Structures are given as structure tokens and as C-alpha cells.
């Protein structure tokens, strides 16, 4: 299965936040949109970084309450692993596992066009396995 199949199913919506927004703004958006990560982007097309719930939690331990007034740039990850719609889910699973990441932005011709979470990948894989199971059961009953 290709990433493009996932994007078609879930949609191309990506929530972004500007680099000068505060961590409080990021936390509010994460909660409001019910997502685990925001792409840091000034124009909604080019990736400067990514900020996730994990980034917030890890820095909260260091800065405590002062964290909420910091800019998103203080906690965002600048090394962002990306994929393209033509990539397959198996290679994305390897990337997510090796780098211990849960969110991977999708680029179309170098421009942000979607985001895939580990939940999206697991759901797609489970759907594939269920389809295979159903086909095997149908095959057995047809005999």
C-alpha cells in the first residue's frame, strides 16, 4: 500500500503553526484539533520543524510553567523526516520505528500536502490484514 492511499482515505488536512507562536498556543491547538503534532511553517507549505505532544512533555520537565511563554522554536524538532505519496507503508513503518517518531509530513513536489501518523499506518495495516483474512475465509468456504 502506498502513502497516497492513506492520504486519500484520511484527507490532506495538516495543522500548522507559525514559529513565533507560543508553546501555550501550540498546546491549545493540539487539544482543539485533537492531533498529536503540528507542522511548524510560516506559509503552510514549507516545513521548518514539527512540534509534538512529546516535545511539549519533554521540555516541560526542564522549564516547568515558564514553558508556555516560550516560542514554538524552543521545543520543535528541526530534523523532520518526510515521505512522498509514492512511498510504501512498509518503508514508512521502518522510518517511524528507527527514528522513534509518530508523525511524518507528506510532501508533493517539495510542498506540504498531508501528514501520516502511526495510528494511520496501524489502521491501514489492520485493514489489509482483515481483507486478507476475509479472502482466505471466502476461499475456504468456497471449496
Q: What pLDDT was estimated at residue 88?
A: 93
What pLDDT sits at residue 31? Answer: 96
Task: Give residue-wise pLDDT tens across range 21-70.
Answer: 999 999 999 999 999 999 999 999 999 999 999 999 888 877 777 788 88
| Calpha distance 33→1 (Å, rounded) | 27
Helices and strands (DSSP H and E) totals, the chain? 5, 5
- The pLDDT tens digits of the residues spanning 78-101 come to 999 999 999 999 999 999 999 999
The pLDDT of residue 98 is 95
Give the pLDDT confidence score for residue 113 in this predicted structure.
94
Domain that holds residue 81: 3-142
Total domains, the chain: 1
- What's 40's domain CATH number? 3.10.580.10
Q: What is the pTM of this model?
A: 0.83
Residue 80 near residue 41, CB atoms below 8 Å: no
3-class secondary structure, 114: strand
pLDDT at 49: 96
Planar angle of CA 14, 66, 72, nearest 5 degrees: 25
Of 15-19, 38-42, 71-75, where does mean pLDDT reach its minimum?
71-75
Amino acid at each position: 500500500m502506498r502513502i497516497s492511499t492513506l492520504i486519500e482515505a484520511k484527507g490532506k488536512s495538516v495543522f500548522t503553526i507559525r514559529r513565533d507562536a507560543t508553546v501555550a498556543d501550540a498546546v491549545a491547538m493540539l487539544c482543539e484539533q485533537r492531533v498529536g503534532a503540528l507542522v511548524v511553517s510560516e506559509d503552510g507549505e514549507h516545513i521548518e520543524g514539527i512540534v509534538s505532544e512529546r516535545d511539549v512533555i519533554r521540555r516541560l520537565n526542564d522549564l516547568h510553567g515558564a514553558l508556555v511563554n516560550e516560542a514554538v522554536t524552543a521545543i520543535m524538532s528541526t530534523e523532520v523526516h518526510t515521505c512522498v505519496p509514492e512511498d510504501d507503508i512498509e518503508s514508512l513503518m521502518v522510518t517511524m520505528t528507527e527514528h522513534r517518531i509518530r508523525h511524518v509530513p507528506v510532501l508533493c513536489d517539495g510542498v506540504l500536502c498531508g501528514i501520516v501518523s502511526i495510528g494511520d499506518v496501524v489502521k491501514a495495516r489492520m485493514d489489509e490484514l482483515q481483507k486478507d483474512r476475509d479472502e482466505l475465509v471466502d476461499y475456504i468456504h468456497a471449496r
